[in-house]
Amino acid sequence: MSYERIERELYIDAPPEVVFSVISRPEHMKQWWPDDAEFAPAPGARGQISFHGEEAGEVHVYGLTLVDVEPPRLFSFRWCYPEGHVANDGNSLLVTFELTPSGAGTRVRMTEVGFRDQGRSEAEVVEQYESHEEGWAQHLPRLAPCVGELARRS
């Protein structure tokens, strides 16, 4: 296994505009992925996301830098870079959501790349990759119900 790219594709029965909002707005994102999110949905904006750890009171905070914000078709960001650094392709992971209209719904293609670009040992690359692969498998299925809830409220 190359441990270079995680790729997932799913169909959501809602228009791209609604799906994009749930993927790209912090108030919606934290309903399906991180426990908290703070950022302005604009290219170059910096913010953070956080996840509760396994221990009581434990919180893991990650910087987030938005790369592409092109409603309703493309949303990407860099994360997992050293605190206090500017995210770039040599120190972070790039997550991209591509949205394509498909019938009455949206085809969502998510990719995460950069696991081998951070100068880590092979064991560290494998550990991070497997952790993220497991995380996306857990969190991406939550996306469609959140989109459905937003569509019902609209």
Asked whether residue 93 carries a pLDDT value surpassing 80, the answer given is: yes
- State both tokens at 48: 């953070």
Q: DSSP characters for 115-147?
A: TTSS---HHHHHHHHHHHHHHHHHHGGGHHHHH
Q: What pLDDT score does 152 carry?
A: 83
Rounded to an integer, the average pLDDT of 10-29 is 97
- State both tokens at 3: 């441990």
φ, ψ of residue 33 to 5 degrees: the values are -125, -85
- The pTM of this model reads 0.95
